[in-house]
Amino acid sequence: MLIFKRKTFPKEMIPRGIVHVHEKGWMDKNGMRVWVEKVWSKRPGGLLKKPALLVLDQFRAHISETTKKCFKEVKTHLAVIPGGLTSQLQPLNVSINKVFMREEWNKWMAAGNHDLKPTGRMKRPTLTQVCEWVKTSWHSVKEEIVVRSFKKCGISNALDGNEDGLLYKDSEESDVSDCEQLSFINSDSSTDEFLGLTED
């Protein structure tokens, strides 16, 4: 689910998918309710309400009583990552987020012909463009990368222990492999601001 920092829903044409708005641009209890209803409940097996496990970090909207109740209604057990360990135990952070939309951003920057503000600064990409980047980027992520990320975090490893070594695989080696498979250009760090998507 994409969350845009704004008070009202955008009027421009947004590609199909789940878009949410929040005044501060982050997830809250209402956003979690929307995510459970429109995303989590519609995953394979979600409509049948088969018991499932969801791994979340300790962000307060993820673990509020309201959110826990929503997950209980859809038979989902929560595993909460202890503080400070998201970068090691959250599959998206381990292998995917670092390079997720970098290629689409780089293509847009290289294309040139950007509109300028009266101050001469380049205008930000439109919300439609950002939605398209996310969609294109997600479709570029290979299933093997997602599977490996879950195994590296110890979430879906074989019960007989034969995959336990994946937990200790050098993360730098894994990141390089992921970058090559995604054909994305690696950023200097995962905490870099994603240029053009922040307020001036």
Per-residue pLDDT tens for 24-56?
A: 999 999 999 999 999 999 998 888 888 999 999
Q: Give all strands (DSSP E) within the chain, no chain letters.
A: 2-5, 19-22, 52-56, 76-80
7 and 20 in contact (C-beta within 8 Å)? no
Please state, as a whole number, how many other Cβ atoms lie within 10 Å of the Cβ of residue 18: 14
Domain span at 168: 86-200
In this prediction, residue 197 carries a pLDDT of: 45
In this prediction, residue 170 carries a pLDDT of: 61
In this prediction, residue 48 carries a pLDDT of: 86
Query: Same structural domain for residues 99 and 187?
Result: yes
Q: What is the largest CA-CA distance in the chain?
A: 63
Among residues 57, 80, 103, which one ends one of the domains? 80
Residue 62 above 50 pLDDT? yes
Please report which confidence band the pLDDT of residue 9 belongs to, taking 50, 70 and 90 as the band edges.
confident
Residue 83 above 60 pLDDT? yes
Query: Same structural domain for residues 127 and 155?
Result: yes
Chain centre to alpha carbon of residue 116: 30
Query: Same structural domain for residues 95 and 142?
Result: yes
Cα end-to-end distance, the chain, whole Å: 24
Residue 110 above 90 pLDDT? no
Residue 114 above 70 pLDDT? yes
- Specify the number of domains making up the chain: 2
Query: Same structural domain for residues 111 and 200?
Result: yes
Q: How far apart are CA 14 and CA 133, in angstroms?
A: 12
Query: Same structural domain for residues 75 and 91?
Result: no
In eight-state DSSP terms, residue 22 is: E
Query: Same structural domain for residues 19 and 63?
Result: yes
Calculate mean pLDDT across residues 106-120. 83
